[in-house]
Amino acid sequence: MNALRLLVVYFRIGLLGEAQYRVNFLFQLFETGLGMASVLAAIWVVFSQTDTLGGWKPAELTALIGIYFIVLGSINVMVAPSLQKFMEDIVTGNFDYTLTKPADAQVLVSLSEVRIWRLADVLLGAVALVVSIVRESMVVGWVEGGKFLLALLAGAVMVYSFWIVLATLAFWFIRVENILQIFWAMYTAGRWPVGIYPGWLKWTLTLVVPVAFAVTVPAEAVSGRASGTSLLGALGLACVLFAFSRWFWRVGIRKYAGASS
């Protein structure tokens, strides 16, 4: 509960800080809109040559793109900028100040920076998702809706845990920003359902970088093709990854000796 309260406080501070630069929201909307248009154009080109792609209909793929942007925005609002700042703080020594604060350090470093305008990604993603559902008059009942939210939650937890593990590596290595680049490169592969990829890539995107669980599985839930067992599996894996990342963080922080010489 303490963590939730901190989340609200930091979010408010971030909102106040960024509210000075409101025009940035318009620019972010413009940039995200362009990015989305370019992805949708690719889908349009593909479906000008075929009716289904690996069993996915056009509207199901645009729903998947919506989810892709929702998750992308969620990462970029807080997790990515905060953990990036954490890694810089390790180098500069500012992390010592975080440690002196009377709250859990992992919570603090996960919340320290807010890029509120990246909510534009979430907003446009949600629009794409809703428009796809309505236009195709997909039947999304309580069951599919609930499955979708559960899948999204599991995916979000896995992505967060993955980021914590990567960020924790900063305790041992210095140039970790480059490692984060692996995540971003892999994440772009999530614009298409991972099922179409060859085995080695599919498994990498499922087990090494949790793109499949963050984007494809929630999209399967919306289009009503996610089974109960795969959802349970996702939730279980999310718990395991979360516990592992927490343990790994503790190991890292115990190893940390401070920045002073």
Residue numbers at the binding site for another protein (CB under 8 A): 27, 30-31, 34-35, 37-38, 41-42, 45-46, 48-50, 52-54, 175, 178-179, 181-182, 184-186, 188-189, 191-192, 196-198, 200-201
Minimum CB distance to another protein smaller for 63 or for 133:
63
Minimum CB distance to another protein smaller for 99 or for 201:
201
Q: Given the structure tokens 């592992």, which residue do they identify? A: 244
Residue 53 phi/psi, 5° resolution? -120, 110
Burial of 158 (0-12, 13-18, 19+ CB in 10 A): buried
Minimum CB distance to another protein smaller for 16 or for 41:
41
The distance of closest approach from Cβ of residue 34 to another protein in the complex, given in angstroms and rounded to an integer, is 5
Residue 56 phi/psi, 5° resolution? -100, 130
Report the alpha-carbon distance of residue 155 to residue 178 in Å, rounded.
Answer: 23
Comparing CA positions, the residue from 44, 41, 32 lying closest to residue 68 is 32
Minimum CB distance to another protein smaller for 2 or for 49:
49
The distance of closest approach from Cβ of residue 37 to another protein in the complex, given in angstroms and rounded to an integer, is 6
Minimum CB distance to another protein smaller for 52 or for 94:
52
Minimum CB distance to another protein smaller for 201 or for 259:
201
Q: What is the dihedral of CA 181, 182, 184, 185, to 10 degrees?
A: 110
Minimum CB distance to another protein smaller for 140 or for 211:
211
The distance of closest approach from Cβ of residue 116 to another protein in the complex, given in angstroms and rounded to an integer, is 17
> How far is CA 261 from each of CA 98, 100, 254, 257, rounded to the nearest angstrom?
18, 18, 18, 10
Residue 34 CA neighbour count, 13 Å, CB half: 5
Report the alpha-carbon distance of residue 199 to residue 166 in Å, rounded.
Answer: 24
Q: Given the structure tokens 């279980």, which residue do they identify? A: 236
The distance of closest approach from Cβ of residue 120 to another protein in the complex, given in angstroms and rounded to an integer, is 12
User: Residues 106, 164: contact at Cβ < 8 Å?
Assistant: yes
The distance of closest approach from Cβ of residue 112 to another protein in the complex, given in angstroms and rounded to an integer, is 23
The distance of closest approach from Cβ of residue 52 to another protein in the complex, given in angstroms and rounded to an integer, is 7
The distance of closest approach from Cβ of residue 167 to another protein in the complex, given in angstroms and rounded to an integer, is 16
Burial of 238 (0-12, 13-18, 19+ CB in 10 A): buried
